[in-house]
Amino acid sequence: MTNFVFQNPTKLIFGKNSISSLSGEISKENRILITFGGGSVKNNGVYEQVINSLKGYTFFEFWGIEANPDIETLRKAIILGKEKNCDFVLAVGGGSVIDGSKLIAAGIPYEGDAWEIVKKRDFTKEKVLPLGTVLTLPATGSEMNAGAVISNRIAKEKFAFYSRYPQFSILDPLTTFTLPKFQIACGLADTFIHVMEQYLTTPGQSPLMDRWSEGILQTIVEISPKVLSNPEDYDSMATFMLSATMALNGFVSMGVSQDWATHMIGHELTALHGLTHGHTLTILLPGTMWVMRKEKGDKILQYGQRVWGISGTDRELTISKIIEKTEEFFRSLGLKTRLSENGAGEETINEIVRRFEQRDVHFGENRSVNAAVTRQILERVI
């Protein structure tokens, strides 16, 4: 295990009707900018609960943060926040609203253009406004981490930057009952693959992190059919919601190496084709596993045995079976696993490889996923 520092300051408020505790978390002195997506919160009672809880508070509403939040939209929110002298940001929605709000919270006190913040990548030490969140979609872990991923549709780019953790996050599983099946499937896949990015490296780094990760992976496998067939199964949804948070709040990566190549390539697929984030990952993870099977073989075997109960005497055959099982699981969620099924092909591959050559990328736990290896991964899943 390598040395590490761990500090996660987000207060998690979890459970039925927990939105009513919102008022206790923000001061009446604050001038709040409340941020929303495209309107789902008006159909499921979340908006009403938030507004009721903030009676007597000073707040301003900003609507329209889209999936894969766009810099143009966020600039408008920052202008509103500056005009109204807001000193607190409350994000109400999924990962896109929360990520976008991390940029808004950084952009209101910032003098320059908001895209500069994204380009700086590390904004952890700069002045930002405090942020609270009400989460309505289990997937990204953004409610309890410092990361945010911002899109620039004009430049067809999508980059992550790191800012401050939310001060608090309210997670009421009842708010997820209105999620479309596709978003649930993408959320399950995103959660599963967040764990894989921090787990599927080499064995023996930390038995504790391994078991913790395998616990989340097994939990997602177990609850997936339940939440997909009945999104109003409260207990399964609550388990899903907490799993998604635990998958990317730093708890499973203490002292171990991490990969993230699948995510980095996935962001390009979204930037170029608008594909939903979780869906890019179900295409790419099997490809990464196939191409990196030499480096990752021992861990793939451990994962296959502990999560899927697959073992065998023929190492290569067993590894292949495990990768096939992983792809089969993603398809069981109703998601696709090939580029060609999503309107992407050679042209997309060439563009991603061109970008990665230009940026001279080195992803993965061994920094061995460069532009050429990325091409192999993408060709494997065409």
Contact in structure between 310 and 318 (CB atoms under 8 Å): yes
Angle 203-141-108 (CA atoms, 0-180°, nearest 5)?
Answer: 130
Least distance between Zn ion and beta carbon 73 (Å): 21
Applying the rule CB under 5 A, the residues between 111 and 150 that interact with Zn ion are: none
The H or E element containing residue 371 is helix 371-380
179 binds ligand NZQ (CB under 6 A): yes
Q: Which is nearer to Zn ion, 54 or 272 (CB)?
A: 272
Nearest alpha carbon to residue 103 among 137, 142, 45, 155 = 142
Helix axes 277-291, 315-332, angle to 10 degrees: 170
Least distance between ligand NZQ and beta carbon 175 (Å): 5
State the DSSP code for 164: P
Residue 39, binding choice from ligand NZQ, Zn ion, none, Cβ under 5 to 8 Å by partner class: ligand NZQ
Q: Which amino acid is at 57?
A: Y
The whole-angstrom separation of Cα 205 and Cα 256 is 6
* Cα→Cα distances 48→43, 45, 56, Å: 10, 5, 14
Q: Which is nearer to Zn ion, 49 or 136 (CB)?
A: 136
Binding-site size for ligand NZQ (CB under 6 A) equals 35
Residue 282, binding choice from Zn ion, ligand NZQ, none, Cβ under 5 to 8 Å by partner class: none
Q: The tokens of 149 are what?
A: 């991923």
When binding is defined by CB under 6 A, the residue of 32, 91, 106, 148 that contacts ligand NZQ is 148
Residue nearest Zn ion by beta-carbon distance: 190
DSSP character string of 76-101: HHHHHHHHTT--EEEEEESHHHHHHH
Applying the rule CB under 6 A, the residues between 245 and 264 that interact with ligand NZQ are: 248, 263
Per-residue binder mask for ligand NZQ (CB under 6 A), 105-144, x = binder: -------------------------------xx-xxxx--
Nearest alpha carbon to residue 314 among 304, 328, 327, 329 = 304
Least distance between ligand NZQ and beta carbon 9 (Å): 16
3-state secondary structure of 61: strand
- Interface region with ligand NZQ, contact rule CB under 6 A, candidates 178-186, 224-232, 306-314, 341-349: 178-186
Least distance between Zn ion and beta carbon 253 (Å): 14
93 binds ligand NZQ (CB under 6 A): yes
The whole-angstrom separation of Cα 187 and Cα 183 is 6
As a whole number of Å, the CA-based R_g of the chain is 20
Applying the rule CB under 5 A, the residues between 175 and 194 that interact with Zn ion are: 190
Residue 150, beta-bridge partner list: 159
CB atoms within 10 A of CB 231: 18
Contact in structure between 39 and 65 (CB atoms under 8 Å): no
Q: Which is nearer to ligand NZQ, 136 or 213 (CB)?
A: 136
Q: Which is nearer to ligand NZQ, 199 or 304 (CB)?
A: 199
Binding-site size for Zn ion (CB under 5 A) equals 1
- Interface region with ligand NZQ, contact rule CB under 6 A, candidates 71-79, 182-190, 213-221, 307-315: 182-190
The whole-angstrom separation of Cα 34 and Cα 86 is 10
284 binds ligand NZQ (CB under 6 A): no
Q: Which is nearer to Zn ion, 190 or 268 (CB)?
A: 190
Contact in structure between 194 and 247 (CB atoms under 8 Å): yes
The whole-angstrom separation of Cα 76 and Cα 66 is 13
- Interface region with ligand NZQ, contact rule CB under 6 A, candidates 125-133, 175-183, 336-344, 362-370: 175-183
When binding is defined by CB under 6 A, the residue of 30, 49, 53, 96 that contacts ligand NZQ is 96
Least distance between Zn ion and beta carbon 281 (Å): 6
Which residues here bind Zn ion, judged by CB under 5 A?
Answer: 190
Residues near ligand NZQ (CB under 6 A): 37-41, 44, 67-68, 93-97, 99, 136-137, 139-142, 145, 147-149, 175-176, 178-179, 183, 186-187, 190, 248, 263, 277
